[in-house]
Structure 1
Amino acid sequence: MTDLFETVLVANRGEIAVRIIRTLRRLGIRSIAVYAPDDADALHVRQADEAVGLGDAEHPSAADTYLNIEVILAACRSTGAQAVHPGYGFLSENVEFARALEAAGITFIGPPSESINLMGDKIRSKNHVQAHSVPVVPGIAEPGLSDAQLTEAAESIGYPLLIKPSAGGGGKGMFAVTEPGELPAALASARRTARNAFGDDTLFLERLVTTPRHIEVQVLADGHGRTVHLAERECSLQRRHQKVIEEAPAPLLDGLGRAGEEIRARLGAAAVRAAESVGYRGAGTVEFLVSDEAPDEFFFMEMNTRLQVEHPVTEEVVRVEGRGLDLVEQQVRIAAGQALAFGQDDVRLSGHAVEARVYAEDPAADFLPSAGKAFYVELPQGEGLRVDTAIEGAGTISAGFDPMIAKVIARGAHRAEALDRLDGALAETVILGVATNVEYLRSLIADDDVAAGRLDTNLIARRGAFSSRELTGEELDFAAVVLGTGMLVPDAGAPATAPPPAAGRQGPWQLGDGWRLGEHRRRTYDLDVDGEAVPVTLGESGAARVTVNAGRARLDGDGVSAKLVWDQDSGAAWLASGGRTATVRLLSRRDKLHRHLAQLKRAVAGGDPDLRAPMPGTVVSLSASTGDRVEAGQPIVTVEAMKMEHPALAAVSGIVTVHVAVGDQVPKSHVLASVAPDAGEASATEPASEGA
Structure 2
Amino acid sequence: MTDHLFHTVLIANRGEIARRVIRTLRDLGIRSVAVYSDADATAPHVHEADVAVRIGPAAASESYLDIAAVIAAAKSTGAQAIHPGYGFLSESVGLAQACAAADIVFVGPDVLALEVMGDKARAREHVVQHGVPVVPGFDASGLSDVQIAAEAERVGYPLLVKPSAGGGGKGMEIVTSAEGLATALASARRVASASFGDDALILERLIRRPRHIEVQVFGDRQGTVLALGERECTLQRRHQKVIEEAPSAGLGAGTRDRLLETAVRAAESVSYVGAGTVEFLVDADVPDEVFFIEMNTRLQVEHPVTEQVTGLDLVALQLRVAAGQPLDIVPSVHGHAVEARVYAESPERGFLPSTGMILRFDPPAGVRVDAAIETGSEVTGFYDPMIAKVIATADDRATALALLDSALARTVVLGVDTNIAFLRRLCRNERVVAGDLDTGLIETLLPVTAAPPTAAMLSAAAEVVHAASEPVRTSALWRELPGWRSGAPAVERPQPHFVTDDDELLSVEVGDRRSRGTAQAAVDGEGAVWVAQDGITSRLRPLDRRAMTRRRLSASRAESGGGGPEGRAPMPGSVVAVHVEDGAKVTAGTPLVSIEAMKMEHQVLAPQDGAVHLLVAVGEQVRRDQAVARVMTEESR
TM-score tier, shorter chain, comes to over 0.9
Residues 1:448 and 2:430 aligned together: yes
Distance in 1, Cα, partners of 2:227 & 2:293? 17
Residues 1:579 and 2:579 aligned together: no
Q: Which amino acid aligns with 1:565?
A: A
Q: Which amino acid aligns with 2:571?
A: M
Distance in 2, Cα, partners of 1:355 & 1:475? 27
Distance in 2, Cα, partners of 1:339 & 1:504? 70
Aligned to 1:464: 446
Distance in 2, Cα, partners of 1:191 & 1:123? 15
Aligned to 1:667: 623
Q: Which amino acid aligns with 1:672?
A: V
Aligned to 2:279: 287
Deviation (angstroms), 1:50: 0.4
Distance in 1, Cα, partners of 2:341 & 2:88? 19
Deviations 1:422-470, CA, capped at 9 Å, x for gaps: 1111111111111111111111111110111111100011222001212
Gaps (5+ residues) in structure 1? 254-259, 319-323, 495-500, 514-523, 546-554, 684-692
Q: Which amino acid aligns with 1:154?
A: A
Identical positions, percent: 52
Deviation (angstroms), 1:601: 5.5
Instruction: Spell out the pairing of 1:376-525 with structure 2 (5 A cutoff).
Output: 376-382=360-366, 385-480=367-462, 483=465, 503-506=486-489, 510=491, 525=496
Deviation (angstroms), 1:147: 1.7
Deviation (angstroms), 1:144: 2.1
Contact kept in structure 2, 1:653 and 1:678, CA below 8 Å: no
Deviation (angstroms), 1:596: 4.0
The normalised TM-score by structure 2 is 0.95
Deviations 1:26-76, CA, capped at 9 Å, x for gaps: 111111100000000001100001010012x5xx41110000111111111
Q: Which amino acid aligns with 1:616?
A: P
Aligned to 2:520: 563
Aligned to 2:349: 365
Q: Which amino acid aligns with 2:86?
A: Y
Aligned to 2:63: 65
Aligned to 2:39: 38
Between 571-580 and 18-27, report the one with greater CA deviation.
Answer: 571-580
Q: 1:24 to 1:179 in 2, by over 3 A?
A: same
Pick the structure with greater CA Rg: 1
Instruction: Spell out the pairing of 1:84-123 with structure 2 (5 A cutoff).
Output: 84-123=82-121
Q: 1:309 aligns with which of 266, 276, 301?
A: 301
Aligned to 2:480: none
Distance in 1, Cα, partners of 2:39 & 2:468? 35
User: What secondary structure, in the 3-state scheme, does the structure 2 residue paired with 1:252 have?
Assistant: coil
Aligned to 1:170: 168
User: What secondary structure, in the 3-state scheme, does the structure 1 residue paired with 2:195 have?
Assistant: helix
Q: 1:511 to 1:629 in 2, by over 3 A?
A: closer
User: What secondary structure, in the 3-state scheme, does the structure 1 residue paired with 2:332 have?
Assistant: strand
Deviation (angstroms), 1:644: 1.4
Deviation (angstroms), 1:564: 2.1
Query: What do you get for the CA RMSD once the two structures are aligned?
Result: 2.2
Contact kept in structure 2, 1:526 and 1:533, CA below 8 Å: no
Contact kept in structure 2, 1:2 and 1:337, CA below 8 Å: no
Aligned to 1:527: 498
Contact kept in structure 1, 2:15 and 2:44, CA below 8 Å: yes
Distance in 2, Cα, partners of 1:539 & 1:590? 19
Aligned to 1:246: 244
Between 624-633 and 614-623, report the one with greater CA deviation.
Answer: 624-633
Deviations 1:338-386, CA, capped at 9 Å, x for gaps: 00112xxx2211110000000000100000011121121111111xx10
User: What secondary structure, in the 3-state scheme, does the structure 1 residue paired with 2:142 have?
Assistant: coil
Q: 1:663 to 1:492 in 2, by over 3 A?
A: same
Q: Which amino acid aligns with 1:67?
A: L
Distance in 1, Cα, partners of 2:142 & 2:609? 41
Deviation (angstroms), 1:77: 1.3
Deviations 1:388-428, CA, capped at 9 Å, x for gaps: 01112221111011011000000011111111111111111
Q: Which amino acid aligns with 1:277?
A: S
Distance in 1, Cα, partners of 2:168 & 2:320? 27
Q: 1:477 to 1:247 in 2, by over 3 A?
A: same
Q: 1:223 to 1:636 in 2, by over 3 A?
A: same
Q: 1:280 to 1:465 in 2, by over 3 A?
A: same
Q: Which amino acid aligns with 1:364?
A: E
Q: Which amino acid aligns with 2:603?
A: P
Aligned to 2:481: none
Q: 1:535 to 1:432 in 2, by over 3 A?
A: closer
Residues 1:333 and 2:333 aligned together: no
Deviations 1:661-691, CA, capped at 9 Å, x for gaps: 1111223232211222331xx69xxxxxxxx
Aligned to 1:20: 21
Contact kept in structure 2, 1:145 and 1:203, CA below 8 Å: no
User: What secondary structure, in the 3-state scheme, does the structure 2 residue paired with 1:17 have?
Assistant: helix
Distance in 1, Cα, partners of 2:137 & 2:392? 38
Contact kept in structure 1, 2:140 and 2:203, CA below 8 Å: no
Residues 1:5 and 2:28 aligned together: no
Contact kept in structure 2, 1:170 and 1:241, CA below 8 Å: yes
Deviation (angstroms), 1:485: 7.8
Deviation (angstroms), 1:482: 5.7
Contact kept in structure 2, 1:606 and 1:652, CA below 8 Å: no
Instruction: Spell out the pairing of 1:229-240 with structure 2 (5 A cutoff).
Output: 229-240=227-238
Instruction: Spell out the pairing of 1:581-596 with structure 2 (5 A cutoff).
Output: 581-596=537-552
Query: What is the number of residues matched between the two proteins?
Result: 630
Distance in 2, Cα, partners of 1:239 & 1:542? 39
Contact kept in structure 1, 2:9 and 2:82, CA below 8 Å: yes
Q: 1:348 aligns with which of 332, 336, 343?
A: 332
Aligned to 1:519: none
Q: Which amino acid aligns with 2:412?
A: V
Contact kept in structure 2, 1:485 and 1:502, CA below 8 Å: no
Contact kept in structure 2, 1:602 and 1:609, CA below 8 Å: no
Distance in 2, Cα, partners of 1:526 & 1:142? 57
Distance in 2, Cα, partners of 1:493 & 1:626? 44
Contact kept in structure 2, 1:477 and 1:539, CA below 8 Å: no
Q: Which amino acid aligns with 1:663?
A: G
User: What secondary structure, in the 3-state scheme, does the structure 1 residue paired with 2:526 have?
Assistant: coil
Instruction: Spell out the pairing of 1:120-135 with structure 2 (5 A cutoff).
Output: 120-135=118-133
Q: Which amino acid aligns with 1:156?
A: R
User: What secondary structure, in the 3-state scheme, does the structure 2 residue paired with 1:12 have?
Assistant: coil
Q: 1:600 to 1:188 in 2, by over 3 A?
A: farther
Instruction: Spell out the pairing of 1:218-237 with structure 2 (5 A cutoff).
Output: 218-237=216-235
Q: 1:628 aligns with which of 566, 584, 594?
A: 584
Distance in 2, Cα, partners of 1:474 & 1:395? 26
Distance in 2, Cα, partners of 1:485 & 1:402? 35
Deviations 1:622-680, CA, capped at 9 Å, x for gaps: 1123222222111111111111111111212222211111111223232211222331x
Aligned to 1:49: 50
Distance in 1, Cα, partners of 2:184 & 2:607? 24
Deviation (angstroms), 1:479: 3.6
Aligned to 1:687: none
Q: Which amino acid aligns with 1:542?
A: R
Deviations 1:190-215, CA, capped at 9 Å, x for gaps: 11111111111111111111010000
Gaps (5+ residues) in structure 2? 478-483
Distance in 1, Cα, partners of 2:545 & 2:213? 56
Aligned to 1:550: none
Contact kept in structure 2, 1:13 and 1:35, CA below 8 Å: yes
Aligned to 2:598: 642
Deviation (angstroms), 1:143: 3.2
Q: Which amino acid aligns with 2:523?
A: W
Contact kept in structure 2, 1:143 and 1:202, CA below 8 Å: yes
Deviations 1:240-272, CA, capped at 9 Å, x for gaps: 00000000000131xxxxxx2222111111000
Q: Which amino acid aligns with 1:354?
A: V
Contact kept in structure 2, 1:4 and 1:333, CA below 8 Å: yes
